[in-house]
Amino acid sequence: FVGAQFSWCLFCMICSHFLMCFPSQMRISTHVFSSCVQLFRHGDRSPVQAYPTDSYQESSWPQGFGQLSQEGMRQHFELGQYLRSRYRAFLNESYDRHEIMVRSTDYDRTLMSAEANLAGLYPPQGGQVFRPGLKWQPIPVHTVPLSEEKLLSFPMHDCPRYKQLMNETTHTEEFIKIITEYKDFLHFINNKTGLKNISVENVWVVYDTLFCESRHNMTPPAWVTPDTIKNLSLLKDFSFQAMFGVYKQQEKSRLQGGLLLGAIVKNLSRMAIPDPKQRLKVHDTTLSALQTSMNIYNNKQPPYASCQMIELRRDDNGSSWVSMFYRNDSSKDPYPLQLPGCSQLDCPLEEFIRLTKASIPEDRDRECELTSSDSDKEIIIGLALSACVLLFLIILLLTIFCWKREPQSSHGYQHVVNVEAAAHS
């Protein structure tokens, strides 16, 4: 399953906000982040590539492929401002390094998105203004090399079992139906774009390029009709869905988004116990993987600068609730999301932990291994048994051989047996 470029594009940001309701011990973790840069409602970035017959090649874009556009910067700046207003009561007016930790995937556009976001979230106040007139201050953004990215980049390709599941997904009835239905369409796309290997799995590349170009008022070629876009969009949404769902969703979740979900649930549990030393964290993540692992994905690719908020509330009695909001449209209030199976919108923490448990891997490394088939096991057991029998025979032969050569030692042996027998009686 070809998904490499997909991975970091799939989702945009998660902003989780954990808070306690005792003002003296109030703590928040704001998970802000931006890793997204993909095909969405707003032309947030340049496309990641052009197709061979495209009249807009890399030089048509100010910074080349895959770069955050000014519109993208505005969107993230606006999101930062929104977070500031939403969490006004809990975030300190001035930047406090203990209050926030920012981590981004190691791409130009995600690092830049994070910075634009923080510019909106922490405009300097009073003593933090270091240059009069400049409404910006540096805030650290951490990252790790892509080869070491374990938390934020999906789908993760280090998992043989996941590869096997994706292979099986492409053989499901639903997948084959789509392939059959759009066979001619895919031929058409290959022919028009000059690409040779476009399939359901990677057709999003074409959609992405056309989408970004239309966002930037570039004239599409004649074969790009609204109907073509409709088909491309449908196939792209389906391939996104298939990556984490469609077939064996729970197991896929355990191998992908479940890792992050586990980290979040663990931190939620920890945050529910007031601890003045608790520090705040911000992380960047992949929305679809996380949402699918909680079964709240709406099967629509998250738009630019989307934000998933997870909030923990705690009352005087010590009970805690988890609420989730999804902000995918800056002109609307965030959508409240209910965890499937939970009795109420604000899900009691214990219930939240219980319901998400099945999507969190206990030992991902082991679960990612391919289980050797039963026939393999039989062979191994058979070999082990033969080896034991052989060993036993050799020992037996050696014993007989030695006994025959030293018959006098048999007295000592009998003596020991007698002592043992006496001890037992």
Would you please indicate which residues are annotated as catalytic (active-site) residues? 42, 284
Q: Interacting stretch for ligand NAG, rule CB under 6 A, among 67-75, 154-162, 189-197, 373-381? A: 189-197
Query: What count of Cα atoms within 13 Å lies in the side-chain half-sphere of residue 42?
Result: 20
Measured CA to CA, the distance from residue 111 to residue 140 in angstroms comes to 10
Q: Interacting stretch for ligand NAG, rule CB under 6 A, among 72-80, 309-317, 340-348, 392-400? A: 309-317
Q: Interacting stretch for ligand NAG, rule CB under 6 A, among 113-121, 186-194, 392-400, 405-413? A: 186-194
From 61, 175, 182, 238, residue interacting with ligand NAG (rule: CB under 6 A)? 182
Which region holds residue 94: left if phi is over 0, alpha if psi is between -120 and 50, else beta?
A: beta
Cβ nearer to ligand NAG, comparing 33 with 107: 33
Binding to ligand NAG (CB under 6 A) within 351-410 occurs at: none
Smallest gap from residue 170 Cβ to ligand NAG (A): 8
224 in contact with ligand NAG (CB under 6 A)? no
228 in contact with ligand NAG (CB under 6 A)? yes
Smallest gap from residue 260 Cβ to ligand NAG (A): 6
Smallest gap from residue 309 Cβ to ligand NAG (A): 13
Cβ nearer to ligand NAG, comparing 67 with 239: 239
Contact 271, 21 (CB under 8 A): no
Residues whose CB falls within 8 Å of the CB of residue 125, separated by 6 or more in sequence, listed in order: 93, 94
Measured CA to CA, the distance from residue 267 to residue 279 in angstroms comes to 11
The closest alpha carbon to 141, from 121, 159, 169, 126, belongs to: 121
Contact 109, 68 (CB under 8 A): yes
DSSP code, position 321: E
Smallest gap from residue 225 Cβ to ligand NAG (A): 6
Smallest gap from residue 404 Cβ to ligand NAG (A): 58
| CA distances in angstroms from 277 to 162, 229, 310, listed in the order given | 39, 52, 21
74 in contact with ligand NAG (CB under 6 A)? no
Number of residues binding to ligand NAG, judged by CB under 6 A: 34
Q: For residue 3, with 0-12 CB atoms within 10 Å meaning exposed, 13-18 middle and 19 or more buried, which class applies?
A: buried
DSSP H or E segment with residue 322: strand 320-327
271 in contact with ligand NAG (CB under 6 A)? no
**What residues pair up with 308 in beta bridges, in sequence order?**
14, 326
From 264, 309, 310, 312, residue interacting with ligand NAG (rule: CB under 6 A)? 264
Q: Which two tokens stand for residue 326?
A: 């999804």
210 in contact with ligand NAG (CB under 6 A)? no
Q: Residues 275-294 vs ligand NAG: string with x where CB under 6 A?
A: ------x-x-----------
DSSP H or E segment with residue 193: helix 183-193
Q: Interacting stretch for ligand NAG, rule CB under 6 A, among 108-116, 153-161, 295-303, 372-380? A: 295-303
Q: Interacting stretch for ligand NAG, rule CB under 6 A, among 56-64, 315-323, 342-350, 371-379? A: 315-323
241 in contact with ligand NAG (CB under 6 A)? no
| Secondary structure (DSSP) of 31-98 | -------SS-SS--B--S---TT-S--GGGSTT-TT-B-HHHHHHHHHHHHHHHHHTTTTS-SS--TT
Q: Which two tokens stand for residue 269?
A: 């549990």
Cβ nearer to ligand NAG, comparing 24 with 408: 24
From 329, 350, 369, 420, residue interacting with ligand NAG (rule: CB under 6 A)? 329
For tokens 């945050």, name the residue: 271
From 7, 328, 356, 359, residue interacting with ligand NAG (rule: CB under 6 A)? 328
Contact 61, 45 (CB under 8 A): no
35 in contact with ligand NAG (CB under 6 A)? no
From 227, 363, 365, 406, residue interacting with ligand NAG (rule: CB under 6 A)? 227
From 43, 120, 155, 303, residue interacting with ligand NAG (rule: CB under 6 A)? 303
Count Cβ atoms below 10 Å from residue 354 Cβ, excluding itself. 13
Cβ nearer to ligand NAG, comparing 103 with 109: 103
User: Which residues make up the interface to ligand NAG (CB under 6 A)?
Assistant: 2, 92, 94, 96, 167, 181-182, 185, 188, 191, 194-195, 197, 202, 205, 225, 227-228, 231, 263-264, 267, 281, 283, 298, 300, 303, 315-317, 326, 328-329, 335
